[in-house]
């Protein structure tokens, strides 16, 4: 498979987008922070099925990291990522340096107010402002017909959908199911931080979610009972809860009673590593 063309400047990205549009070709975009795994490949595969050309961005976005978070040590492997993109049939990779995205004097940010509150938005202040800002830039540069995001970052998916809708960007934002390891662990670049022992303990997130989902299927709809099941699974493996929440699936409004279409989300620390996961109910 031919290697993808690598773009490093905003001008190159805009020129590629203009050429694609003039040719009447449908463009799919897959925004990532790199260190690509099979979950990312599933997004690229979907983009390739839906579009004529596929662009992947690889950019560790500094504005979505807090002062004490893992920006400096976030895993990176550009050579491996380019090989992965080539195997997936990606046409273009956008890999800019930070000053290209946030040049000196940059002062414009985008915020999706309501959907950014609570959950990861509460635990990571400013995170979704950074996400919305970089995604808005990517959409402005590439003008894609569709963009593919994973449901593991469920709050992010809803934030991006609202961003595209509210700003009339004409981008179809497609959510793809979480891809899991054989034992249920949600695929994540941050899994690379886990020791072998921590990797085993991390299964508590999905085990708890799966147990709560089974309880709901048997007729239990009380939010406290469902979230307690998840919390207990975390405690058994000495995994520190950040939050466990039952919310409405499209608005993220907290629920006292579960219903079909509700979402159960968890964030927790396995050692020093913060992981997130979620399941739909019904």
Q: Which residues are catalytic?
A: 40
Q: Which of 196, 183, 136 is CA-nearest to residue 161?
A: 136
The CA distance from 212 to 65, in Å, is 31
Strand runs labelled E in the chain: 5-7, 27-32, 53-58, 92-94, 146-150, 172-176, 240-248, 262-270, 273-280
What three-state secondary structure class fits 147? strand
Sheet with 262-270: list strands edge to edge. 240-248, 262-270, 273-280
What three-state secondary structure class fits 135? helix
The CA distance from 150 to 157, in Å, is 7
φ, ψ dihedrals at 109, nearest 5°: -130, 155
User: Do 36 and 61 touch, CB atoms closer than 8 A?
Assistant: no
**CA dihedral (101, 102, 107, 110) positive or negative:** positive
What three-state secondary structure class fits 253? coil
- Given the structure tokens 């203009």, which residue do they identify? 18
φ, ψ dihedrals at 146, nearest 5°: -150, 155
């Amino acid at each position: 498979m031919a290697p993808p063309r690598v773009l490093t400047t905003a001008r190159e990205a805009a020129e590629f987008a203009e050429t694609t549009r003039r040719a009447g070709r449908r463009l799919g975009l897959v925004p990532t922070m790199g260190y690509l795994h099979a979950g990312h490949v599933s997004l690229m595969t979907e983009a390739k099925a839906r579009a004529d050309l596929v662009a992947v961005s690889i950019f560790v976005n500094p504005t979505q990291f807090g002062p004490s978070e893992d920006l400096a040590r976030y895993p990176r492997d550009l050579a491996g990522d380019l090989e992965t993109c080539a195997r997936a049939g990606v046409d273009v990779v956008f890999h800019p340096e930070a000053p290209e995205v946030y040049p000196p004097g940059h002062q414009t940010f985008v915020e999706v107010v309501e959907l950014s509150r609570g959950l990861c938005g509460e635990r990571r202040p400013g995170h979704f402002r950074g996400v919305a800002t970089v995604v808005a830039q990517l959409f402005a540069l590439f003008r894609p017909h569709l963009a593919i995001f994973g449901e593991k970052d469920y709050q992010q998916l809803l934030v991006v959908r609202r961003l595209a809708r509210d700003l009339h960007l004409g981008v179809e934002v497609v959510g793809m199911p979480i891809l899991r390891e054989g034992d249920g662990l949600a695929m994540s670049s941050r899994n690379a931080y886990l020791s072998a022992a921590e990797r085993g303990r991390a299964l508590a997130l999905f085990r708890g979610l799966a147990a709560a989902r089974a309880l709901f299927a048997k007729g239990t709809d009380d939010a406290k009972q469902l979230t307690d099941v998840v919390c207990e699974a975390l405690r058994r493996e000495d995994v520190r809860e950040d939050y466990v929440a039952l919310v409405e699936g499209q608005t993220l409004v907290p629920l006292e009673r579960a219903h079909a279409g509700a979402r159960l989300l968890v964030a927790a620390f396995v050692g020093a590593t913060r992981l997130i996961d979620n399941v739909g109910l019904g």
